[in-house]
Chains A and B, each alone.
Chain A
Amino acid sequence: MDLDALTGCLASSACLVTQTTSGFIIGMLLFLVAVGLTLIFGVLKVVNFSHGAFYMFGAYFAMTAYQVTGSFALAMFCGAAGTAILGLVFERVFMSRVYGSDVLMQLLVCYAFVLIFDDVVRLIWGPEFKSMGMPTAFQVPPLFIAGGVVPPYYLLLIGVALAVAAILGVGLARTKIGKVIRAAAHNPGMVSALGINTGLIYGGVFALGGMLAGLAGALAAPVRSLTPGMGFSVLIESFIVTVIGGMGSILGALIGALLIGLIRSFGSLGFPLFTDGLMYLFMVIVLVARPTGLFGKEVA
């Protein structure tokens, strides 16, 4: 515990700005990873425990595409598209069979796939860790924004995260398809009675959630090493973010992610050896005080 460092930083405006900026960056990256999870829960009422596996596939698809074509844009596209297809297939063939069952069955099916996917990646790409490398376009010095240091690549990530938040938020609330999706979440029987193919909607939403995870993985690939099983740590973090923010709420995921980012940023100053524990403690407190999370709705 190093509370002096923490209070010292809170007192100094330079430190305060820098730590807040880094907390913001961490939070936006977390949001990008976590938003798919909360979307799937919100619409399909399913906790997608294989969320981390989609993140992993997005990263590996992107890395391979980049190695083959040398194009960053194409790599990102492959990462996202590949996981979207994977999500669609996974949902239609396997997840749809366990919608009615209790959460144990869902957990088991998802976890079974995490085990299988991790080994498949190991078989195809090998057990050693790999690196995609930063595309030359982004190999530039960091920028100074509002007293904080921000690498341009992270600006891209933040931009994408904000765009995703905006598109999802507005899309679900205002567009026709958004309304159909929300209706299907509320009352699938009625929606299907109206002649709309709910199976397609479910598949589509799961594909979207998987794609978001894959996109996050693809975007993270230039700055993180890739290894089979890399999905696990992001799964836990996404989980914490969505539980705190409220399962099913995009805004909740955003706020939850930012909170976790700030806890990590300032927590590593004050509690360098217990930063993880702080996050779990916060999760416990939120769950006890408000089980549905900060912005979640009561499950019927």
Chain B
Amino acid sequence: MTKTSKPGVSRRSTLALMGAGAMTIATPWVARAQAKTIKIGMPTILSGRVAQLGTSSRNGAMIEVDKVNAAGGLAGRQIEMVIRDSKGQPQEAARVARELVNTDGCELLLDAEASSGAFAVHEVARDLGVFCIHTNSETSSLTADPKQHIPNAFRSARQGVHDSIVGGGYAAAIAKAKGLKKWATCSPDYAYGRDTTGEFVYYLKQFAPDVEIISDSWPKLFQPDYTEVVTKILQAKPQAMYSALWGGDLTSYIDQANIYAMFSQMEVFAVNMADYTALTVVKNLPKGIHSGNRYIKTYPATAENAAWGDAYKAKFNEYPTNWSWENATAIMLTAEASRKANSADGKKIADAMRGLTIKSPFGADGTVTMRAEDQTLIGYAIGWGTTIPNEPYVPEVKSGDWKQILALEAEWKKTKGYT
């Protein structure tokens, strides 16, 4: 009988390889012991069309995490950020959040998901009881709706309703001054676009009752061709226009509206214009577009804010976005709450965070506060101004009045049945 020796990989090495492979694959299923560092899990979107949300969120968080770690960390424990991509799918966001907590040993969650992902992670937080701070979702109902209240979830992002109150007031003043009675709206057809536009129109009419919306358009998110929307608006011949389009969509819209000479025919109010992502990318930016602030390093016009913006640009070679400051604020709040509670325990941090006021370069008066009653951020710098195509982009910003914002927000909650 001849010896049968097979060429190629021997059985032993195949088994060894398979074993190694199995171990790599199975690592998530073997829970790891708690280390001296404290892990903060961060589900976000790092691929696809909204990848910039994830990358700038990560940058904003990391620039603050480095500062916290240099100062000793959270109650003596160094922060280790564990950042994962959910590809913009809510079920992936839920899975990633669960994995971060259950397997990777994350004790705190920094949820940098966009709206629907944020709701998915919110349910995970509800289920697991882990401390969670939402940093990018601007949908008011996430914290305003009592059904969503859980003691361990917070939000450090701006809220659509705040932007609309300030925007409505600002626009009403201009409407009255320039006699802009006929308005058109053009916003992306999804919850953020519809809610923000609806609220803006509501407050605009409150402050300027003569205003009438004669045309409304709802293009789909990421729609490439706005021709039918542009011609529809031009036909209606409004005197002013409001849009909640953002990012690439806003850029495409401006490009396409430009060749129809839309900007010479009406005043344009685009709440998301004054974001460096749009301001530095649009090539032929018309002058005089009114915009709310997203992140502008010259507003608030303080040294701290300018320094923060410059440091960010120096480190990452790009300007900060709205998402950057919201994530930075989350880390700042967590660090301060941890210091106050002298602990890195999620529950103690949550207790300390309710009602916490911290010094912040992004605050309207130098501070921001995590409101206790619905655990969302207030007091951040919020204002409107007109844009120019070069630095400083928004030379003058009219600030919103937080007393008025809070009063009107309370009324709004009553009408929605949240209180």
A interface vs B, CB < 8 Å? 14-15, 18-19, 21-23, 25-26, 29-30, 119, 122, 127-134, 138-139, 141-142, 149, 151-154, 220, 222-230, 233-234, 264-265, 268-269, 272-273, 275-276
Contact = CB atoms under 8 A, between A and B. Distances in A.
Sorted from nearest, which 9 A-B pairs have the closest CB atoms?
A: A133-B283, A127-B51, A129-B248, A151-B259, A225-B248, A22-B231, A225-B251, A223-B255, A128-B52
A268 B229 contact: yes
A230 B225 CA distance: 12
B261 A142 contact: yes
B48 A134 contact: no
A129 B277 contact: yes
A134 B252 contact: no
B225 A141 contact: no
Given A223-B259, A273-B218, A128 B225 contact: no
A130 to B, nearest CB: 6
Contacts of B218: 272-273
B259 A142 contact: yes
Scoring B189, B235, B258 by chain A CB atoms within 10 A of each residue's CB, the highest score goes to B235
A225 B249 contact: yes
A149 B255 contact: no
A240 to B, nearest CB: 13
Contact of A228 (B49, B189, B220): B49
A76 to B, nearest CB: 17
B248 A134 contact: no
B401 interface: no
Contacts of B249: 225
Contacts of B48: 228-229
Q: Which of B49, B259, B261 has the most CB of A within 10 A?
A: B259
Contacts, number: 118
B55, B224, B277, B318 — most chain A CB neighbours (10 Å): B224
A128 to B, nearest CB: 5
A124 to B, nearest CB: 14
Interface string B46-70: 1111011001000000000000000
B367 interface: no
Contacts of A122: 47, 51
A22 B228 contact: yes
B222 interface: yes
A127 B55 contact: yes
Contact of B259 (A15, A21, A29, A138): A138
Contacts of B259: 134, 138, 142, 151-154, 223
A77 B201 CA distance: 46
B54 to A, nearest CB: 8
Contact of B284 (A134, A149, A234): A134
Contacts of B46: 127
A287 B306 CA distance: 59
Q: Find the residue from B46, B52, B248, B258 having the highest chain A CB count within 10 A.
A: B248
A127 B46 CA distance: 9
Contacts of A265: 227-228, 231
B104 to A, nearest CB: 24
Interface in B207-233: 216-218, 220, 222-225, 227-232
A152 B220 CA distance: 26
A129 B234 CA distance: 27
B224 A220 contact: yes
